[in-house]
Amino acid sequence: MAKFEGKVIIITGAAGGIGKATAKKLAEQGAKLALVDLNLEAVQQAVSELGLSEANSIAIQANVAKEEDVKAYVKATVEKFGKIDGFFNNAGIEGITANVEDYPTETFELVLNVNVKGAFLGLKYVVPVMKKQGYGSIVNTSSGAGLIGSPGFVGYNSSKHAVIGMTKVVALEAAPFGVRVNAVAPGVINTRMMRQIEKNTVPEDAEGARKAFGAAVPMGRYGEAEEVANVAVFLLSDDASYVSQSIYTVDGGQINQ
């Protein structure tokens, strides 16, 4: 069923595991996609892998923490497709693993710059387009780390708590205009980011760290990017027409155990 036939969706962090998995599901359901990533070659490769054409996609290089880049990807999408039906505000980085006294200030600033400022700028420039249209759905990518404390992750956890705060505020601001804003909060997902977190956490035994992370999940395993994509696609769809200001955990039951 082509639930997204004719609909235009922007995805940031589109070359990453969750971004690309979401793009794949949306493309299969007829969406036109604006795929945004810092790595232009990687996002162009994603376009090729997904079998997208110039008629139904655009690959855009952008640093989501730079205001002019964000303005540019929103403008390019509207100029090509005429509207924005959905926005998967997904780009993010993990930073390093270190206790607060050892956490470099410049790394903390970098993580917040991408994860918080990047998400904020996306909202700042997409929401007005949707308000003018009188409809739209936004899904922000937070994390299970945005709901709990995780020793060693002061930068990442802080940034993902902020994304949840933005989701709640902007959902209330946008609701009178027919615009919905929700967030997904993935747990341990089998992506590049988790490979790096495993290495950062136990440099001498990343595989051991992976097993320990998986064992801590009630379902006993890592999630897959496609499982997060399923929830993001639902929230972007008309099936979620009365869902806003909600935070959907995709974590095998870990956060709320």
Which residues carry out catalysis? 156
Contact partners, residue 101, CB within 8 Å, separation at least 6:
none
Residue with tokens 């903390």: 108
CA dist 89 and 247 (Å) reads 14
Contact partners, residue 149, CB within 8 Å, separation at least 6:
157
213-217-220 Cα angle (round to 5): 95
Distances (CA, A) of 13 to 34, 39, 43: 11, 9, 9
Length of the chain, in residues: 257
Residue 248 phi, psi (nearest 5)? -100, 110
Contact partners, residue 219, CB within 8 Å, separation at least 6:
252, 253
For 176, the enclosing helix (H) or strand (E) is: none
